Amino acid sequence: MRLKTLLKLCVPLLVAILATGCVTSKPYDYTAFKQSRPRSILVLPPVNSSPDVNATYSMLSHVTYPLAESGYYVLPVALVDETFRQNGLTNPGDIHAVVPAKLKEIFGADAALYITVTKYGTTYMIINSVVTVSANAKLVDLKTGQLLWEGSATASSDEGNNNSSGGLVGMLVTAVIKQIANSVTDAGHAMAGTTSQRLLSARPNGMLHGPRSAQYGKD
């Protein structure tokens, strides 16, 4: 009996601990998202509230990947930007103010993604420099104007230091990553790639999988 009791205690408890690592606590309400079932996403040029003027186009050029690989059709971002330009809209703030029905009429997309870049660039400290890119996003149904999902994400060249107390190897890895990150001319752009992945690839509490994914309807 004692054996069984022990087993009963050992296994489920440990499994539970592990599973907790996978699943995050507060579930997102996907009712509107699941009702809308968007197939195509129009990504509007991101509003930039950071001091770096490159942030808008840097982020815009990264976002197709996580969305498309999650199963959505993403309208060609440069061509969309050009269409806005030809209609006299060059400021992301003005573009974000266009009514959903008008966007639907021109682009025919099911949903639009409104991104704001809140941090983009390098913070210099005494013995260290840290590259951080943060952004938030809202997915809006273009037929109804309803909010389907919103979220935010951040990526930083410093995170290896905080997270892993991985001893010597950990420190070495961190040092190498830093060297790479800081040696590329546009370190912010590389970091924006990580931020866009975290922000927009399908995951718990994040975007759901789209119709072109094998995971569609399973999350």
Partner 1 sequence: MTNNKCKQGIAVFSVLASVLLVGCVAPQQRLYQWEGYQPQVYEYLKGQGNGPEAQIAVLEKDMQKIRAKGGTPPPGYHAHLGLLYSQIGKDDQVLQQLRTEKALFPESTAYMDFLLKKFEK
Q: How far is the CB of 3 from partner 1 (least distance, A)?
A: 4
Angle at 31 (CA atoms; ends 27, 35), nearest 5 degrees: 145
Q: How far is the CB of 182 from partner 1 (least distance, A)?
A: 19
Number of Cβ atoms within 10 Å of the Cβ of 64: 19
Query: Rule CB under 8 A: is residue 81 a binding residue for partner 1?
Result: yes
Question: Which range, of 75-83, 122-130, 146-154, 176-184, touches partner 1 by CB under 8 A?
Answer: 75-83
Angle at 62 (CA atoms; ends 88, 86), nearest 5 degrees: 15
DSSP state of 50: S
Please give the structure tokens belonging to residue 103: 């966007």
Query: Rule CB under 8 A: is residue 32 a binding residue for partner 1?
Result: no
Query: Rule CB under 8 A: is residue 141 a binding residue for partner 1?
Result: no
Please give the sequence-ordered ranges of beta strands (E in DSSP) within the chain, or none if there are none: 40-43, 47-48, 73-74, 111-124, 129-141, 147-156
Query: Rule CB under 8 A: is residue 217 a binding residue for partner 1?
Result: no
Whether 84 and 95 have beta carbons less than 8 Å apart is answered as yes
Query: Rule CB under 8 A: is residue 197 a binding residue for partner 1?
Result: no
Cα distance between residue 50 and residue 137, in whole Å: 15
Cα distance between residue 95 and residue 116, in whole Å: 12
Nearer to partner 1, 22 or 97 (CB): 22
- In the list 24, 82, 144, 150, the residue contacting partner 1 (rule: CB under 8 A) is 82
Cα distance between residue 64 and residue 72, in whole Å: 9
- In the list 44, 55, 60, 133, the residue contacting partner 1 (rule: CB under 8 A) is 60
Q: How far is the CB of 96 from partner 1 (least distance, A)?
A: 17
Q: How far is the CB of 19 from partner 1 (least distance, A)?
A: 7
Whether 186 and 120 have beta carbons less than 8 Å apart is answered as no
Binding track over 105-134 against partner 1, x by CB under 8 A:
-xxxxx------------------------
Q: How far is the CB of 104 from partner 1 (least distance, A)?
A: 9
Q: Which residues here bind partner 1, judged by CB under 8 A? A: 2-3, 6-7, 10-11, 14-15, 18-19, 21-22, 39-40, 54, 57-58, 60-62, 64-65, 68-69, 71-79, 81-83, 106-110, 189, 212-213
